[in-house]
Amino acid sequence: MKAIIFDGNLKYLTDYPIPAPRENEALMRVRLAGICNTDMEILRGYLGFHGVVGHEFTGVVEKAPEPASALIGKRVVGEINCGCCECDFCRTGLERHCPDRTTLGILGRDGAFADYVALPVANLRPVPDSVSDVEAVFTEPLAAAFEITEQAHIRPTEEVLVLGDGKLGLLCSFVLDLTGAHVTLAGRHATKLNLAANRGIDTVCVSMEALSEKRRFDVVVEATGSIEGFETALKHTRPRGRIVLKSTVAGTQSMNLAPLVIDEITLVGSRCGSFGPALRALTQKHIDVTPLVSGIYAFEHAREAFEKAQEKESLKTLIDFR
Helix (H) or strand (E) holding 232: helix 229-235
Q: Which residues contact 38 (CB under 8 A, 6 or more apart)?
A: 46, 55, 106, 248
The pLDDT tens digits of the residues spanning 130-163 come to 999 999 999 999 999 999 999 999 999 999 999 9
Cα distances from 1 to residues 18, 97, 105, in angstroms, run 6, 31, 16
The pLDDT tens digits of the residues spanning 293-319 come to 999 999 999 999 999 999 988 999 999
CA–CA separation, 87 vs 137, rounded Å? 30
Average pLDDT, the chain: 92
Quote the pLDDT of residue 250: 53
Whether 106 shows a pLDDT value over 60: the answer reads yes
CA–CA separation, 162 vs 246, rounded Å? 10
Same fold, 3-138+289-320 and 142-269: no
Topology, domain 3-138+289-320: Quinone Oxidoreductase; Chain A, domain 1 (3.90.180)
Mean pLDDT for the stretch of residues 165-183 = 96
Domain residue spans of the chain: 3-138+289-320, 142-269
Q: Are 54 and 87 in contact (CB under 8 A)?
A: no
Helix (H) or strand (E) holding 266: strand 266-269
CATH classification number, 142-269, choose in 3.40.50.2300, 3.40.50.720, 1.20.58.220, 3.40.80.10: 3.40.50.720
